[in-house]
Amino acid sequence: MGTYGYISIIAMLCYGFMLLMFLAAKRNKIINSFLVVLLGLLFWTGGSAFMRAQFWPGCEFWYQVSLLGILLLPYAYCRFILAFGGKKSGVPGKIYLVVMLLCFWLNAQYGIFLESPNVVDKNGVSTFVYEIKPAIVVFFIPAGIFLIYLFMVLVQICKENPNIKVQYEPVVLGILALFLGNAFLGIPIFSGFPIDILSGVVNVFLLFYALIRRRLFRLQMLASSSLCYGVGFLFSILVFLNIVPFLQKIPGIQPDKNMTVYTLILAIIFLVIYTFFTFLWRLLIRSVFIREENHQAEKIREFNSAISKTLDLQEILDRTIRVMKELMDVGNIYVCMQNVPGESYRGVASDQPLSDLAFALEEENPMIQWLKEHEEPIIYRDFRYSVEYKSMWEEEKHQLDKNHTRYCAGLKDGDNLVGVVLITDSSAKKRLVYDEVELISNITSVASIAIKNARLYENACLEARTDEMTGLLNRKYFYEVLNEEFEKNKEASLALAIINVDDFKLYNQLYGVKEGDLCLQCIAGIIKSSVGDSGYTARYGGKEFAVLLPGYDLFSARNLVESIAKQIFVMNNRRTDMKLKAITVSAGISAAPYAAKNVKELMENVDLAVYHVKHSGKNGIQVFDTMFRNNKNENTTNREHIYREYESTIYALTAAIDAKDHYTFSHSTNVAYYATALATTLGMNEDMVEIIRQAALLHDVGKIGIPEYILNKAGRLTDEEYETIKGHVEASIDIIRHLPSLDYVIPAVIGHHERYDGKGYPRRIAGEDIPLTARILCVADSFDAMTSNRCYKKAFPVNVAREKLLQDAGKQFDPNLVEKFVECLDNGTISLVKAEEA
Amino acid sequence: MNLEEKLKKQQYKEIWQQYCGFLDLSMDGYMKIQRRLMEEQIQLWSNCGLGQSILKGKYPKNLDEFRKMVPLTSYEDYADVLLTKQPDMLPGNPVIWIQTTWEGGKHPIKVAPYTRSMLDTYRNNVTACLILSTSKEKGSFDVAATDKFLYALAPLPFATGLFPLALREEINIEFLPAVNDAVNMSFSERNKLGFKMAMQKDLGFFFGLGSVAYAVSLSLSSMTSGGGIKLSKLMKCKTHMILRLLQAKRRCKKENRPLLPKDLFHLKGFMVAGTDNMCYKDDLEALWGIRPMELFAGTEPSIMGTETWTRKGMYFFPDTAFYEFITEKDMMKNHEDPSYIPPTYLMDEVRPGEKYELVFTILKGGAFARYRCGDMYRCVGLENRDDETRIPRFEYVDRVPWIIDIAGFTRISENGIRSVIGLSKLPITNWVATKEYNEKNRPYLHMYVELEREALLNTAMSANILKDLLSTYFKYIDQDYRDLKKILGMDPLQVTIFTCGTFAAYEKKTGKKIHQMSPSHYELKELLDVQECLNKVR
């Protein structure tokens, strides 16, 4: 075989290869028409090559095949050009096809136009001599006309759509190459060189390029199995044909004699060659073209298994970022997460440890909104052309542009968008790869599930570790931390402080449970912010807080606790709506290794220190001293009853009421009797009972300011007068407020006209929000009012008053208190105070 | 990627979506954009010196507070800061200052700063207009970088001069004549050269004020109909233009009519802006064979809205400004009693059929907040099945009644007329001025005046003399009025002299004074009736 033969073979291989490749591709009109072009070229080149090689069944046959290919080509091109421009194939193409097929048939039958060449043997080399007849024009004329038509179609398409011109460039160049190749045949330099066939190859590659530009071809198609087998087959045929002549010459085998053996050997050899080539091709493709794909799949598999094994959110994020970075050529990757719905998405992780993560995406950001509604990632460049982009703030645009943001993908937990992955460009000129979008989609969907689990776990952990009300660590977890830290800090020091709120029960009783909770939360806040990251804080008991300070010695721990105690003491001054009692704390501090050898001892020591403070008048800080252990039981002296010292003040005030309105005075003393009796029955301690007594004596002190005619009005009060009467509660508070030492009665006084159902005055609070003392006063006050003679009404008998109480239990009164009160009335613990004779 | 690159890549769907996608917005979606951008603008504006000069120490946090705290403003509120061009005082860095005349203001010109992001928005919206002007239905358009653009609008520093600059960032359409050359030419020079070039290269787009477009079109007709065409001129033309010209000549001869622009040019897009377009649209359509698409723009807000392929009302762009509307009734009430604060309605609160005065806050670092530009719009519908839109549609009505705008060229205010009368020293005792349309549907200013009785006896006073004198002084105080005559060739003033005592009789009859500027049709008719009666009595 000369150059001619080789080039023909190469061309044929190219065509065959492409034919196989596109046969395996997803077919559409353009691909189909390209296949027809390939077929035409294959017929032409293959026919001519086989003819020259004088393969079976003979020159004549291959000549006809080659001719058919040539004749088919213009039609094939026409189809391709039309399909490429998105046009329907018209009638002229079909007419041409019919005419040409007819001519071909005639020629094949009778050789009218161009007979098959004669083989002339020249010095052992066969040459093919054509006998050119004038009738050959019949072939050329329709082809020429058709080509002109084709050109016009092309011009038309380009005119209609100037932008498609660029896309047609390779196609036109291809045709031009083909044309030139054939024209050059006549030039002497090229004689003997198959320039026409070479131009055919160039042409096909140009068409192929046009298809790639149109994104109609992907490299993955190279790895399809049909292509593997096809290529294997193609190569094996070639090789086989070349080695058969040698096989025939192998001594000992006479094809004519032992036909069966010969065929068998041939078949086996063919099979071996075939398998070999198929295998070789697959290996080549795998390792060259789709190695990257495999690498990618491998990485994703690794990533999947890795993140399914962890519940650590940070690790999941890091791995997600790492796998993206490995698989794509991108700049930086940032992950932003939303902690609570409604908040913005803050930067939490990045591929660069030094990245500035202090940025956030607002939940209202149109990009976030878009991600919420869609599953696929945003290609930022495309997003900029959307209507949603219009509502983007300049600052947001600037931020995204500054980072060269390329993609933005959502991390979803069901319908919730919990996080956003921002991926930036490595260089501004990098072209977008559409496969990346799919890749990101895959990775983020896997990561989303892992993140969901990690967050669930994190939440569960947090819930199990923290105290719900204060947000501090709970007791159980605190012990864990304590043990851990003790082990860690064996060489250094570890301080532990317990802060116990003084008289907290009283506080609750004075202001109600709600205020009590609020107080604890405030204290927790103070402790937490003071300790910060330098230690652990826990709610150790109901009103006890523990502070664990690794690395702290006794001195610095004491300083810290002092500062905390000071802050707590002034905490309630900030309240403007009502005056609250100042909170004091008793704190104990101990530290290992100075004063304790193990965790148990440390805890005991601190407890002891607190105990010591409690017994030496509360409100203090005590560092554990070994001496405590020895005089544990010394502190047994009874404290002076602090509330008795205000007796004289109360007396002065009640005397004033008495002078103004004797009824109010006797009413107050009666209420004091009922209320203390009830409080005692309820099992309240001595202090509380005393407070209630004083509050009862003072509860109507504000009536001093109300005109007597209103107080003693016999008839119905006008609205205005009623409002004046209602004002006595505030008036009472105004008076008591000026006596700081008596401020503890305020909660009871201010609340004694509140109703259990929230319809009372002045604050309209309800249920347990009303301090217990006030609720007690309310019952006592009403009972006495009902059972007393007034200028406007007669006293009710006890049983009527009792019924009334029961009726209004749960409405005006605390039902539990009414129940107790009635019980006391029934069993005689409380008896009706005899009305004074006027 | 700009429009031109996208066209090359045949991304037609994407192009439509990017520029004209706002037409598909729902009312909610539209308001979402408005509110969100406003949130940003509130921050920028409230914290800058200009904003604080109006807010006086208050800091609105949200839209409701903003609407409560910021009063309705006019140019006077900004004049001190803007006219001295102090960038530090502004909410955003100005890239360019656009100017216009300030009729009746304390300074001859008004200036408005444009930030880069305002210009970006402007560019996108201008491109949307370009696309929409060629569209026949939703999603279809025909724009190519090879198109030629005849542009009959003023160059920089006027707002209209931004148009070619912004468009150039998107697509390299050739302007006839080139923008750089056009700057130094007079209006008629520009038109002549533009047309000459259009004859050579063909024309795809035309944009002008309605009135100017009409004047230009007429001059085109006269230029072509003026006898034979020189061969040397023909040589420079493209072959298809020569063919078209010859064909057109033959056709016109056959139909015995002058050559019209539509014979020569097959416009892809035709845009007009300004006031009084209604008067010119039909004629322009007859001249060019394509109905002009109206745009809504101004110096302060840049481009605000556009019509679509149906040419049935325009849509406001959601990202240029935040729009509020005052009903005509409230506006009049406020005009009569300036202490009355008229309530404003948002885009999702307008009612079809109602006339509104527009109040806008420029977004993206713009200077103007709750600004009354003095334009009246009528809401013509909330949805449109033809356009498949779900956002309100408006049509331009006119300026507010106390400003008379003639052909989009000049704005005549009550103060303006007063000073003209004062300068002319004419013995005019009473007058009303209103915009009327002549038999050709062209707008003009009609002044009804009453003169001193003595003056009538002692001096020659005819309506023509009055008109000439008043015109002279109008030209003296108002450059634009001069241009009206020069460019459009129109004389926009008519004077009618009333019988002495007409105004007094009117007042006696109705018990109130008549509005001097644009009195209502009913008031004017009554005034004329009164004068009739007076004449009869005599």
Residue A812 sits in a domain of what CATH number? 1.10.3210.10
Q: Which of A395-399, A509-513, B82-86, B225-229 has the lowest mean pLDDT?
A: B225-229
Instruction: Inform me whether the pLDDT recorded for A162 exceeds 70.
Output: no
Contact B37 A162 (CB under 8 A): no
Cα torsion angle, A555, A559, A562, A568, sign: negative
> By the 8 A CB rule, do A595 and A607 touch?
no
Whether residue A226 sits in one domain with residue A212: no
For chain A, the average pLDDT equals: 81
The count of C-alpha atoms lying within 13 angstroms of the C-alpha of A770, restricted to the half-sphere facing its C-beta, is 32
Q: Are residues A390 and A476 in the same domain?
A: no
Report whether pLDDT(A733) > 60.
yes
Q: Is A606 found in the same domain as A491? A: yes
Across the interface, do B14 and A394 touch by the CB < 8 Å criterion?
A: no
For A432, residues 6+ apart whose C-beta sits below 8 A from its C-beta are A379, A381, A406
Cβ contact, residue pair A162, B9, below 8 Å = no
A780 phi/psi in degrees, rounded to 5: -65, -45
pLDDT tens digit string along A60-87? 888 888 888 888 888 888 888 888 877 7
What's the length of chain A? Answer: 838
Would you say residue A642 has pLDDT above 60? no
Pairwise CA distance, residues A754 & A765, whole Å: 7
Q: Which pLDDT band, with edges at 50, 70 and 90, does A178 fall under?
A: confident
Statement: residue B523 has pLDDT above 90: no
Q: How confident is the model at residue A546 (pLDDT cuts 50, 70, 90)?
A: very high
Buried b (16+ CB within 10 A) or exposed e, B53-79: ebbeeeebeebeebbebbebbebebbb
**Residue ending a domain, choose from A602, A617, A639:** A639
Q: What is the pLDDT of residue A575?
A: 65
Contact B33 A391 (CB under 8 A): yes
Is A833 contained in some domain?
no
A545 with A524: CB under 8 angstroms? yes
Amino acid sitting at position B67: R
Q: How far is B272 from chain A (nearest CA, A)?
A: 25
Largest CA distance in chain A: 160
CB B316 within 8 A of CB B306: no
Alpha-carbon distance of B83 to A643, in angstroms, equals 75
Residue A414: give its domain's CATH number.
Answer: 3.30.450.40
A486-492 contacts, C-beta under 8 A, 24 or more apart:
A486/A592, A486/A598, A486/A599, A486/A602, A488/A550, A489/A550, A489/A551, A489/A592, A490/A593, A492/A550, A492/A551
Which structure tokens are listed for A513?
């449970």
**Count of structural domains within chain A:** 5
Q: Tell me, what's the pLDDT at B365?
A: 92
Question: Rounded distance, CA A350 to CA A337, Å?
Answer: 12
Q: A385–B14: do the CB atoms touch at under 8 Å? A: yes
Farthest-apart Cα atoms in chain B, separation = 80
Shortest CA gap A73–chain B (Å): 29
Nearest-CA distance from A163 to chain B in Å? 5
Going by C-beta distance under 8 Å and a sequence separation of 6 or more, which residues neighbour residue B69?
B55, B58, B60
What proportion of chain A, given as a percentage, has pLDDT over 70? Answer: 89
- Those residues with Cβ within 8 angstroms of residue A787's Cβ, 6 or more apart along the chain or in another chain: A795, A796, A797, A798, A801, A832, A833, A835
Q: Determine the distance in angstroms separating the CA of A398 from the nearest CA of chain B, rounded to an integer.
A: 10
Instruction: List, in sequence order, the alpha helices (H) in A214-349.
Output: 225-249, 259-288, 291-308, 313-327
Q: Looking at beta carbons, which residues of chain A come within 8 Å of B21?
A: 386-387
Q: Which of A254-268, A293-307, B80-94 has the lowest mean pLDDT?
A: A254-268
* Same-domain pairing of A174 and A248: no
Beta carbons of B17 and A163 less than 8 Å apart: no
* Position B308 confidence tier, pLDDT thresholds 50, 70, 90: very high
Interface test mutation site (partner B, options A160, A370, A390, max chain B beta carbons within 10 A): A390
Phi, psi torsion values for A556, nearest 5 degrees: -70, -35
Q: Are residues A168 and A247 in the same domain?
A: no
Entry field: residues in chain B: 538
Q: Is residue A82 part of a domain?
A: yes
A155 plus A26 within the same structural domain: yes
Task: Report which of residues A220 and B163 the model is more confident about.
Answer: B163
Cα B419–chain centre separation: 25
B-chain CB neighbours of A382 within 8 Å are 14
Query: Closest to A386 (Cβ–Cβ): which among B17, B36, B37?
Result: B17
With CB atoms and an 8 Å threshold, state whether A385 touches B18: yes
d(CA A406, CA A384): 11
Nearest residue, CB atoms, B7 vs list A163, A381, A386: A163
Q: Are residues A210 and A227 in the same domain?
A: no
Q: How confident is the model at residue A630 (pLDDT cuts 50, 70, 90)?
A: very low
Residue B370 has pLDDT above 90, yes or no: yes
* A164 interaction partners in chain B (CB closer than 8 Å): 10
Neighbours of A288 (CB within 10 A): 11
Residue B359's pLDDT is: 95
Query: B334-366 pLDDT, tens per residue?
Result: 988 989 999 999 999 999 999 999 999 999 999
Give a yes or no: residue A298 inside a domain.
no
Q: Which domain holds residue A411?
A: 303-463
Tell me how far apart the alpha carbons of residues B200 and B232 are, in angstroms, rounded to a whole number.
Answer: 12
A627 and A670 belong to one structural domain:
no
Same domain? For A600 and A634 the reply is: yes
Q: Which residues of A touch B10 (CB under 8 A)?
A: 161, 163-164
Two structure tokens written together for A821:
């009160």
**Helix residue spans in B258-299 (DSSP H):** 261-264, 277-288
Distance (Å) from the C-alpha of residue A525 to the closest C-alpha of chain B? 29
Burial class, A248, CB count within 10 angstroms (exposed 0-12 / middle 13-18 / buried 19+): exposed
- Whether residue B8 and residue A163 make contact (CB cut-off 8 A), yes or no, is yes
Which of A394, A395, A396, A401 is the best substitution to test chain B (most B C-beta atoms within 10 A)? A394
Do A235 and A191 share a structural domain?
Answer: no
Q: Which positions in chain A touch B14 (Cβ < 8 Å)?
A: 382, 385
Sequence-distant (6+) residues with CB within 8 A of A131 are: A114, A115, A117, A118
- ipTM for the whole predicted complex goes beyond 0.95: no
Report CB contact under 8 Å: B10, A386. Answer: no
- Using the 3D structure, point to which of A639, A658, A684 is the last residue of a domain: A639
Please indicate, yes or no, if residue A760 is contained in any of the structural domains.
Answer: yes
Q: Same domain for A679 and A606?
A: no
Across A431-448, average pLDDT: 80
Mutate to test the interface with B, among A158, A215, A391, A397 (most CBs of B within 10 A): A391
Other Cβ atoms closer than 10 A to A648:
9
Q: How far is it, in rounded angstroms, from Cα B342 to Cα B328? A: 10
Query: Do the Cβ atoms of A810 and A756 come closer than 8 Å?
Result: yes
> pLDDT tens digits for B19-70?
999 999 999 999 999 999 999 999 999 999 999 999 998 999 999 999 999 9
pLDDT, residue B1, reads: 76
How far apart are the CA of B195 and the nearest CA of chain A, in angstroms? 26
CB nearest to A390's CB, from B9, B33, B39: B33
Q: Does A432 have pLDDT greater than 70?
A: no
Q: Are residues A818 and A708 in the same domain?
A: yes
Domains with residue ranges and CATH for chain B: 15-118+319-400 (3.40.50.12780), 144-267 (no CATH), 404-537 (3.30.300.30)
Pairing, β B148-152 against β B205-209: parallel
Structure tokens belonging to residue A183: 């024209």
Domain end marker among A595, A610, A639: A639
Residue A342 maps to a domain:
yes
The residue ranking higher by pLDDT, A235 or A766, is A766
| CATH number of domain containing A206 | 1.20.1070.10
Q: Which residues of A touch B37 (CB under 8 A)?
A: 390-391, 393
Better pLDDT: B492 or B365:
B365
Q: Find the mean pLDDT for residues A243-258.
A: 68
Q: In this model, does residue B160 exceed pLDDT 70?
A: yes
Q: B456 touching A, CB under 8 A? A: no
Per the CB < 8 A criterion, the answer to whether A66 and A44 are in contact is: yes
Cα distance between residue A303 and residue A299, in whole Å:
6
- Relative to beta strand A416-424, strand A405-413 is antiparallel
Nearest CA in chain B to A397: B117
Average pLDDT over residues A181-187: 76
Evaluate whether residue A245 is within a structural domain. yes
Q: CA of B36, closest CA in chain A: separation in Å? A: 6
Instruction: Give me the percent of chain A exceeding a pLDDT of 90.
Output: 4
Q: Do the Cβ atoms of B429 and B452 come closer than 8 Å?
A: yes
**CA angle (A669, A671, A674) in 5-degree steps:** 115
Nearest to A522 by CA among A460, A465, A453, A585: A585
Average pLDDT over chain B, rounded to whole? 87
On whether residue A836 sits in a domain, the answer given is no
| Residues of chain B neighbouring A381 (CB-CB closer than 8 A) | 1
pLDDT at B449 over 80: yes
Contacts of A666 (CB under 8 A, 6+ apart): A836
Q: Taking residues B369-375, what's their average pLDDT? A: 92
Ranking A352-356, A633-637, B159-163 by mean pLDDT, the lowest is A633-637
Question: Which residue from B387, B315, B306, B314 is spatially nearest to B139, judged by alpha carbons?
Answer: B387
Among the partner residues A161, A386, A391, nearest to B36 by beta-carbon distance = A391
Nearest CA in chain A to B320: A390
**Whether residue A433 has pLDDT greater than 70:** no
The band of A307, judged by pLDDT with boundaries at 50, 70 and 90, is confident
The tokens of A94 are what? 């079909």
B5 in contact with chain A, both atoms CB, cutoff 8 A: no
Q: Within 10 Å of residue A408's Cβ, how many Cβ atoms?
A: 24
- Residue A834 forms part of a structural domain: no
